[in-house]
Amino acid sequence: MTQDAIRISGLRKTYQGGKEALKGVDLAIPAGSIFGLLGPNGAGKSTLINILAGLVTKSAGKVEIWGWDQDRNPRQSRASIGVMPQELNLDPFFTPRGALEVQAGLYGVPKAQRRSDEILAMVGLTDKATAYARTLSGGMRRRLLLGKALVHHPRVLVLDEPTAGVDIELRQMLWDNVRKLNRDRGMTIILTTHYLEEAEEMCDEIAIINHGSLVTQDSTTNLLGQLDAKCMVIHPETPPDTLPDAPGLSIDRREDGTLTVNYRTSQTSAEQVLEAIRAAGIRIRDVRTEQADLEEVFLSLTSRAT
């Protein structure tokens, strides 16, 4: 049976004060997938996720979680989803084990079905089980938030920017856990990130939102084929007075004096980029390329016309 874990139609959110964070989003997320919701800062990712989590009320539209309509079956839809929020909001007076027990209680998980110790082991907090949350490091708090999202055995796990500002070790632990939950329990995983490489590595399917609207949704393979943006970083011998203007290239200056050239590999070759730079009289001391992150992809795709 193929099924959608999440079905969203016509989703709108206007915050008090008039900010339109979501402008009518339609989205279906296949059950069993690892799904990436991508977009630059302010795109509306957290708003969408917080609506799924029941933390933000939508202004209009329909949300179904595991087939349950959020408005008509609020209890079942809430029970189907676990959310690890972007903010580290933990009660400082709880211990990790206490926090998991309270969370399980909130979701009505009977004592016999609670797996607090198993969850603590999974997120690597066994030896911190009885420490107060306020004594935990940022990384430990994040792991505890992941544990909290899992207490009620949700079908769908949502992670909002789980690796923003996180060290490599914790990142690895998070991804190992996520892969395992997906593979062993068939849990549908939805994550937001603005690191393209991370999405490339983790996600089967990706949706991109920008300014509150869905830009595209496709398999990761298809999408990365389209997102052929590259960034060349050029260290000039002497800083140029004006930046060259060449078709298909978006050229900027960084604070360290280097020039960045964003281009599409399908339209421009590296050789052509170098030629354009030299033709502008700039002598190149050093050059390297970076994989453009999504922020730069958006900049190069949306703000080039200015």
Out of 46, 103, 220, 268, name the contact with Mg ion by CB under 5 A. 46
CB 21 within 8 A of CB 130: no
In angstroms, rounded to a whole number, what is the distance separating the alpha carbons of residues 135 and 119?
19
Residue with smaller CB distance to ligand ADP, 116 or 161: 161
**Residues 136, 97: contact at Cβ < 8 Å?**
no
SS3 track for 203-258? CCEEEEEECCEEEEEEEHHHHHHHCCEEEEEEEECCCCCCCCCCCCCEEEECCCCC
* Shortest separation between residue 20's beta carbon and ligand ADP, angstroms: 8
**Cβ closer to ligand ADP: 43 or 136?**
43
User: Per CB under 6 A, does 164 bind ligand ADP?
Assistant: no
Size of the site for ligand ADP (CB under 6 A): 12
Site string for ligand ADP, 23-62 (x = CB under 6 A): ----------------x-xxxxxxx---------------
CA distance 82 to 107: 10
Q: Does 10 bind ligand ADP (CB under 6 A)?
A: no
Only one of the segments 45-53, 196-204, 226-234, 279-287 lies at the binding site for Mg ion (rule: CB under 5 A); that segment is 45-53
Asked if 236 touches ligand ADP (CB under 6 A), the answer is no
Which tokens in the block code for residue 53? Answer: 């989590």
- The interface region with ligand ADP, picked from 13-21, 76-84, 88-96, 130-138 by CB under 6 A, is 13-21
CB 133 within 8 A of CB 93: yes
Counting contacts by CB under 6 A, is residue 85 touching ligand ADP? no
Q: Rounded to the nearest 5 degrees, what angle is found at the Cα of 233, between the Cα atoms of 227 and 237?
A: 160
Binding site for ligand ADP (CB under 6 A): 15, 17, 19, 21, 39, 41-47
